Chain A
């Protein structure tokens, strides 16, 4: 059983989470391809995205719906291709994908979530991208209000 060195919890079993792959990495972290997505009752509704190769890299993420209940995802054809989703389909089912916003915690403890560039995971094949919106509909530093409502609409990353 392989284990993953984590920033916050020491070494954990890879079974603790779901391994997701960003074939193109993330902007500024292009070489980081594999992350362990950790969901845990104690950190709910946060999802931790722990890099599998860099112990010190662990993103805090929130389901976009926990930050903005009315969030509507908009992806380019290139993004759909990268996730191997059918670009002919007009709608993608929420069961097929998870959309997470990366969270920045400021020095004063205030949080913001990047709703402009959601991390989108295809639950079926566990491929992920950071999808950078072009429509200006959401901010890259959307303030997160406490307490965030539990994300009842989002299931676990993988079933």
Chain B
């Protein structure tokens, strides 16, 4: 990993089209400004991580294991009830 020390107001260039400017440094936070062509996707790393996690969460869970899960989760025995009887 390339490590560069920069101060507020200074910037780095990445390739021909991308500029990253340090706008403000205060405490543990750094405010940066990024100039890049429209087609360059810029994401906070956590958003990428969230997208990946959402893909995993969307994977099918076998219904049988789901039922088993709900059974295990149940804190008190409850008979079958018709849906929609809660919170209304």
Do A and B pair up? The answer is yes
Interchain Cβ contacts within 8 Å, total number: 116
A155 surroundings in chain B (CB, below 8 A): 87
The listed residue (A44, A102, A114, A147) touching B72 by CB distance below 8 A is: A147
Q: How large is the interface on B (under 10, 10 to 19, 20 to 34, 35 or more residues)?
A: 35 or more
Query: Does A8 have its Cβ within 8 Å of any Cβ on chain B?
Result: yes
B47 adjacent to A27 (CB under 8 Å): yes
- Shortest distance between the CB of A31 and any CB in chain B (Å): 13
B70 surroundings in chain A (CB, below 8 A): 42-44, 46
The listed residue (B47, B56, B83) touching A132 by CB distance below 8 A is: B47
Known: A141-B53, A147-B73. A116 touches B61 (CB 8 A): no
Query: Does A149 have its Cβ within 8 Å of any Cβ on chain B?
Result: yes
Query: Does B50 have its Cβ within 8 Å of any Cβ on chain A?
Result: yes
**Closest partner residue, chain B, to A149 (CB atom):** B75
A86 surroundings in chain B (CB, below 8 A): none
B83 surroundings in chain A (CB, below 8 A): 9, 12, 16-17, 38, 40
**Closest partner residue, chain A, to B65 (CB atom):** A109
The listed residue (A9, A12, A116) touching B46 by CB distance below 8 A is: A116
* Given A114-B57, A132-B46, A157-B87, 10 new contacts (CB under 8 A): A41-B81, A41-B86, A46-B69, A104-B57, A109-B65, A117-B46, A117-B53, A132-B47, A140-B49, A147-B74
B contact set with A: CB distance below 8 Å: 44, 46-61, 63, 65-66, 69-70, 72-76, 78, 80-81, 83-88
Q: Report, nearest first, the 9 A-B pairs whose CB atoms are least far apart.
A: A156-B87, A28-B51, A27-B51, A117-B50, A16-B83, A102-B57, A28-B54, A27-B50, A104-B56
A contact set with B: CB distance below 8 Å: 7-9, 12-13, 15-18, 26-29, 38-46, 56-57, 59-60, 102-105, 109, 111, 114, 116-117, 130, 132-134, 140-141, 146-150, 155-159
